[in-house]
Amino acid sequence: MKSSRLAFSIALGLTTGLLIWSLLQLLRFFAEGNPLPGMDSFIYEGALIGLVLGGVLPVRHALWNHHAPSLILSPLALGAVLGIVAGLLCFGLGQSLLGFQFSPEWVRLFSFAFLGICLGGIILYVHPSSEWPITRILLCGIGGVVIGVVIELSVMYQLMIPWQLSGLLLGGAIWFLLLGILENYYVDSYLRILTGRQEGHVYLLDQQRHSIGYGKTNDLILTGHSEVCKVHAKVFKQDGQLHLENEDPDGNLSVNYRFVSQQSVKKGDIIKLGSALLQYHEV
């Protein structure tokens, strides 16, 4: 499961890099016949890069857990808008460094690194249940630096593939892989859904706290089950054990078919929320 998520992270990073490069080519094609108003093309490129990364990074969790498209579009749109603002800000500041005699190479590295840090903050804002905020933000900053470094190396050694494409593909893959490694590091257990349309789905417990219910703000969203509340239960780690806590007085929660309000769970335990059955596993 951990290796599958790492493969998913790499594939998503490559896809994101390719999408950014394609949009940049469209921007350049448009700019050839129609001069871009108001700002240097470098800043417009930053806005496009922020648009895509800001949209995709916060919904990695939702994509991995197969959330419905309607539940993905809202955070994707919010992240994309914030990403545009971050891209304009970071690449605009980078462009201003040229006036202080910084080389274009250092300007690009600064812009990508600063954008990465801002995108780390956007992830935490759009997906508040994300843990390890400082580590996540630093990793995003490193991911931005990686993209900038690979682009500069591609220019320096004149690689056969387009220099910006190589940077975005390799840098995007490494960026998303770093986040996947961080999340996998904290995974020591998971929940498997045993009933309903999500039967067989595995949810990795990679945070300190998780919410479960049918509401779209939950970490684990249960769909197609009866008697499941909007926020039905919380799962949290404490003193080396996983605990389950009922969040809705109208919701029925049981462990091994015994009703509970709060209880620690052990490997193999069956958790019942309404009509939904889940099993707790350790790795």
**DSSP run (H or E) holding 209:** strand 209-213
Q: Are 21 and 168 in contact (CB under 8 A)?
A: yes
Share of the chain above pLDDT 90, in %: 33
Q: Are 122 and 86 in contact (CB under 8 A)?
A: yes
Per-domain boundaries in the chain: 2-185, 189-282
Q: pLDDT by residue (tens digit) across 147-180?
A: 888 877 776 665 556 777 888 888 899 999 998 8
Mean pLDDT value across residues 228-250: 86
Q: Are 1 and 204 in contact (CB under 8 A)?
A: yes
CATH class of 189-282: mainly beta
Residue 271 confidence class, pLDDT cut points 50, 70, 90: very high
* The residue count for the chain: 283
Mean pLDDT value across residues 13-23: 93
Q: How confident is the model at residue 157, as a pLDDT?
A: 65
Query: By CB neighbour count within 10 A (0-12 exposed, 13-18 middle, 19+ buried), where does 88 fall?
Result: middle
Residue 131 confidence class, pLDDT cut points 50, 70, 90: low
Sequence-ordered list of residues with C-beta below 8 angstroms from that of 277, at least 6 positions apart, any chain: 193, 194, 195, 270, 271
Q: Which residue has the tokens 């591609």?
A: 154
Q: Which long-range contacts (CB under 8 A, 24 or more apart) does 63-70 make?
A: 63/12, 64/5, 64/8, 65/201, 65/203, 65/220, 65/221, 66/198, 66/201, 67/216, 67/221, 68/221, 68/223, 70/216
Pairwise CA distance, residues 249 & 85, whole Å: 42
Q: How many CA atoms does the CB half-sphere of 45 hold within 13 Å?
A: 18
pTM: predicted TM-score of the whole model, two decimal places: 0.84
Residue 12 confidence class, pLDDT cut points 50, 70, 90: very high
Q: How confident is the model at residue 129, as a pLDDT?
A: 65
Q: How confident is the model at residue 261, as a pLDDT?
A: 84
Q: How confident is the model at residue 215, as a pLDDT?
A: 87
Distances (CA, A) of 196 to 123, 248, 278: 31, 21, 11
Indicate whether 144 pLDDT > 70.
yes
Q: pLDDT by residue (tens digit) across 29-75?
A: 887 777 767 667 888 889 999 999 999 998 998 888 877 787 789 99
Residue 87 confidence class, pLDDT cut points 50, 70, 90: very high
72-86, 156-170, 172-186, 259-273: the lowest-pLDDT one: 156-170
Mean pLDDT value across residues 246-262: 85
